[in-house]
Amino acid sequence: MEHVLGIGGLFLRAQDPDALSAWYRDALGLDGGEHGMWEQELGPTVIATFPADSDYFASREQKIMLNFRVRDLDAMLTQLRAAGADVADDVQDMDGVGRFGWVTDPEGNRIELWQPA
């Protein structure tokens, strides 16, 4: 049986695509160049489903949430706050899994940041 090899792309609708691309580049360091090709570090990727009435994404209108691995969650959250980003106050620790924090991009999409255990 054939199977997928990895995530080939993430595509976001935006009212202002150039501004949103700039935010991802400047706030999170996702500089994909002219064609959006970003080389990520090797590591785990979680694919999980949630019930339709879950509040985990903050808004029930949001159908998908990006989760990015980070080396130092506290440093990333501090950097995002200093840049004026909408960062959630809470941080969640899951034994054996890691630490989680959240930021909302300028278009209202909640993003999860994960520092693996």
Per-residue pLDDT of the chain (117 residues; tens, 9 = 90+): 887 777 878 888 899 999 999 999 999 999 887 788 888 888 888 899 999 999 888 888 888 999 999 999 999 999 999 999 999 999 999 999 999 999 999 999 999 999 999
Three-class HEC string of the chain: CCCCCCCCCCCCCCCCHHHHHHHHHHHHCCCCCCCCCCCCCCCCCCCCCCCCCCCCCCCCCCCCCEEEECCCHHHHHHHHHHCCCEECCCCEEECCCEEEEEEECCCCCEEEEEEEC
Give the CATH fold of the 44-116 domain.
3.30.720
**pTM reported for the whole predicted model:** 0.87
